[in-house]
Chain A
Amino acid sequence: MMALVYDFVWRTLHALLHLQRVLISWFRIRLWNWRLWKQAVAALLVPVALGFQNHKTLGPPAGKRGLRRVRWGADGKSLEKLPMHVGLLIAEDELHYTDIANLVVWCMAVGISYVSVYDNQGIFRRNNSRLMDEILKQQQDLLGLESTKYSVEFLNNRNEKQDHQVMSCQAVVKVLSPDDGKPSIVRAAQELCRSVEQKERRSKDIDVHLLDSILRESVHIPDPDLVLKFGPVESTLGFLPWHIRLTEFISLPSHTDVSYEDIFSALKRFATCEQRQGK
């Protein structure tokens, strides 16, 4: 009898929590739309503000982009510290390529050198080129930059800056999947065991540094300083277990319609984190 009552209370509690979650995400989107409205009104009131831009060749829209680019770059510099490598972990079933591409471009614009994108089903890995195309498109839309280099795995974008403010977008983007996690550690272990089998190495020579150097080669990029996790699931979902030793995790409710301000406040939070490294 009591068990039934407990079960009923538990169900009610969880129904309420789900309702709360839905309401929060609903308000978030409302709020975002409202913010857009505010920005639109502001833009109407100050159309002349962009007049002094001297990039005649780029035209007015590109001028606005230039301004935005400079602002984002300055935002990045205003922070006490900026992560070198940011991982974007999408823990949601529905993936929106445009939103992800926006996230990547914002990260690049504030001056982050390495951005990786991960989902635990390997969807981005399978649709790598689609994501890369979307990033290029958003990069042009948001920043008005010409991309010069672009490969399937990496996207290198180097551009010469004509602006007087020093702001260059140079970033490596990498798509990661669960296969880069435990399976890559297993492959490194196999490699080491094979060299022991062939008497090239002794088992007692194996230590953290040796394994780390092999795993570093397999990923090519530094350990992530910060992982931004999007979605309601509180987990790393298999994201690079070896490399997240000192990574800070910041959760955001969803990547759908995420705004620049959301990302910037997460970066601000990261800037205030202190790492003691065991001390």
Chain B
Amino acid sequence: MSWIRERELSLIERLTANILKAGPMPKHVAFIMDGNRRYARKRHVERQEGHTQGFDKLAETLRWCLNLDIREVTVYAFSIENFKRSKEEVDGLMELAKQKFSRLLEEQENLEKHGVCIRVLGDLTLLPLDLQEVIAKAVVSTRKHNNCFLNVCFAYTSRHEIANAVKEMAWGVEEGLLKSSDVSESLLSKCLYSSSSPDPDLLIRTSGEVRLSDFLLWQTSYSCLVFQSVLWPEYSFWNLCEAILQYQLSYLSLQKARDLHREQQALQQLEADRNCVADLMMHHGKGNGKAADTHSRQEHLLNYAADREERVQGFLGTLQHRRDSYFTELAGKAALA
């Protein structure tokens, strides 16, 4: 079963899609694909069969998303907490992942046709080395594509991601690339694994559970959350349409809340810069401190903000380079082997 299923929508599905597209559409949708094991129990099949069917459903869902002009999808494939499951099941899931990512490499042509870029978010060092290598190869080979994006969260939890972002910033401070006062909400967002994606507009969780289970906690603060009772392997085009309808109903209020948040964020940044400038002026020009009128103060502030931005950009460039080379090196190692 391939990563993107080739099947056109039926007439009635196309019609519905076009009606939905007349309204505001989510650009980025995140899925918690829950219910594979319950599905297997219900159908009296092996647990592994449930996971396999879950993957097939993902391929189908990606096709629907493309039909609906949704260009970015993020899925929760494997949580760090899932390592607690039985060894048999964890091994089975690792094997399935390896198989699917290898399959992806054979499907280059198809992925190129659709321009699919695959990213894997999470602490990959927790995975077996052979899986890390296959993942790296898949990521590197689709890196240049930019028509649509699939982010697979693997060995991921949101708290781990946030703590890791803080660690990266602390590393920047250690290396002298950043000052501790440069740490801000927007900088933290850019140090997350998901730094290259906009925040999801819509998060869908299947199987009737009503919690986030440590998934994209930071990124979904102002996203539309839709909890649906259907089990993931039974997910249908109509379930997806229903979720999008919910998104459209919440759209205006969410937009308003997001704007308010953005305003607050800008104010906080300004306040932080002001404090830093005041500190600097205290330290340096004690003599001409009195002479600092509003005009020169404003100038100082602008200069400071420009300097800060330069530091932040430099640091982010280094960070991105480090992350890219992790994948390139691993993929290279795999090619040699």
Whether A208 touches B160, Cβ cut-off 8 Å, given contacts A183-B185, A235-B254, A236-B220, is: yes
Quick one: CB contact mask for B283-309 with A, threshold 8 Å, 1 for yes? Answer: 000000000000000000000000000
Whether A232 touches B180, Cβ cut-off 8 Å, given contacts A7-B22, A10-B19, A183-B185, is: no
Q: How many residues on B have C-beta within 8 angstroms of the other chain's C-beta atoms?
A: 63
Quick one: CB contact mask for B213-244 with A, threshold 8 Å, 1 for yes? Answer: 11001101111111100000000000000000
Whether A6 touches B180, Cβ cut-off 8 Å, given contacts A208-B160, A242-B159, A249-B225, is: no
Residues of B within 8 A of A159 (CB): none
Partner pick for B221 among A3, A121, A204, A241, CB 8 A cutoff = A241
Count, A-B residue pairs, CB within 8 A = 169
| A: interface residue count bin | 35 or more
- Taking a contact as CB atoms under 8 Å apart, the answer to whether A211 and B166 are in contact is yes
A189 to chain B, nearest CB (A): 5
Quick one: CB contact mask for B19-49 with A, threshold 8 Å, 1 for yes? Answer: 1111100000000000000000000000000
Q: Kindly state whether residue B173 has any CB partner on chain A within 8 Å.
A: yes
- Taking a contact as CB atoms under 8 Å apart, the answer to whether B85 and A278 are in contact is yes
- Taking a contact as CB atoms under 8 Å apart, the answer to whether A241 and B218 are in contact is yes
Contacting residues of chain B (147-203) with chain A, CB-CB under 8 angstroms? 157-160, 162-163, 165-167, 169-171, 173-174, 178-181, 183-185, 188
A250 to chain B, nearest CB (A): 7
Residues of A within 8 A of B188 (CB): 182, 185-186, 189
A200 to chain B, nearest CB (A): 11
- Taking a contact as CB atoms under 8 Å apart, the answer to whether A237 and B166 are in contact is no
Residues of B within 8 A of A80 (CB): none
- Taking a contact as CB atoms under 8 Å apart, the answer to whether B23 and A237 are in contact is no
Nearest A residue to B174 via CB reads A203
Nearest A residue to B209 via CB reads A273
- Taking a contact as CB atoms under 8 Å apart, the answer to whether A249 and B221 are in contact is no
Q: Kindly state whether residue B253 has any CB partner on chain A within 8 Å.
A: yes
- Taking a contact as CB atoms under 8 Å apart, the answer to whether A190 and B183 are in contact is yes
- Taking a contact as CB atoms under 8 Å apart, the answer to whether A186 and B211 are in contact is no
Residues of B within 8 A of A21 (CB): 249
Besides A196-B170, A273-B210, A278-B213, 13 new A-B residue pairs in contact (Cβ under 8 A), listed by A number: A10-B23, A120-B261, A185-B162, A193-B170, A202-B174, A203-B167, A235-B225, A238-B261, A245-B157, A246-B211, A247-B212, A249-B211, A278-B82
Contact residues of A with B, CB < 8 Å? 2-3, 6-7, 9-11, 13-14, 17-18, 21, 91, 120-121, 178, 181-183, 185-186, 188-190, 192-194, 196-197, 201-204, 206-208, 210-212, 232-239, 241-242, 244-250, 273, 275, 277-279
What are 10 A-to-B residue pairs whose CB atoms are below 8 Å? A182-B188, A190-B180, A197-B173, A206-B170, A208-B160, A212-B159, A235-B221, A235-B223, A245-B159, A247-B211
What 9 pairs across the A-B complex have the smallest Cβ distances? Answer: A278-B81, A10-B22, A203-B170, A193-B180, A194-B180, A203-B171, A7-B22, A206-B167, A233-B253
